[in-house]
Structure 1
Amino acid sequence: MEISWNKRLRRQAGRTGFGKKNGVPYAVIDTSDKICNSADRLRDTLIHKMCHAACWFIDGEADLTHGLLWDYHCAMAELAHPDMPPITQFHTYETHYKVVYQCSGCQSRVGRWTASLNTEKYQCRICHSKMVLLNQT
């Protein structure tokens, strides 16, 4: 199994890929360097993704839907490590984007990693007003 950082993962903490080479199963776990920016986030993401990999290696099924097999492997991990936080289907990490735009109408915000939003063309998805660059760190 290969575990690596993926600079292109910007909205999800990680992803798991599966396959077989010459009949031998393998799994690849990619983690986001932007979202997994602390030891706790990395731990929680890796244990979640390793439960997906367990479904593949132990049961021969690529359970990407958080089904019964995935639930089973999560329960086994939680029994083995009761001091660890519960394994959840989705992360609730607050993402701190480098660039934030705000709607001039409804005040909703959109985060980006770069100042790539064309404010002349892009409109708010909620009220269709103009977006304005709020900050850039």
Structure 2
Amino acid sequence: MMSDTDLIKLYSARILALAADIPHLERLDAPDATVKRRAPLCGSTVTVDIKLTDGRISAYGQDVKACALGQAAASVVGSHIIGCTRDQIEAARDALLAMLKSDGPTPPAPFDGLEVLRPARDYKNRHASIMLTLEATLEAIDSATKTACA
């Protein structure tokens, strides 16, 4: 059971501010791909719509139904996703997972704001929710790429 001190540390003012200000909450009318991901343990869900232009995210929409940590991750990702390539998003996903699982380095720019979630490394039951947005975005890119090549 978390103590009050642990909860205060985990749900910092910065995390709560990010959760309250998630960009790109409008779904796209005609996305190249849409992916919905769910974290089985907590039930958090994220639905991501993307448009790709020349291998970069050119439009992005998201519907986030997650805890404050998942919302904060969606906020950081949404703030910096436009213009990013699959490689940048994959590097952020891999670094975020390493940061949470083994106290690895902060994800690279432009996703270095995910550092705010480092205190969640001790709460493994929150990791899946935090990872949802990046994982859904990568899956959407893969889906859009396959569709474009078909």
Return the TM-score normalized by structure 1: 0.33
| Larger RCO (CA within 8 A; separation ≥ 6) | 2
Structure number having the greater helix percentage: 2
Q: Output the TM-score relative to the length of structure 2.
A: 0.31
Q: Which has the higher strand share?
A: 1
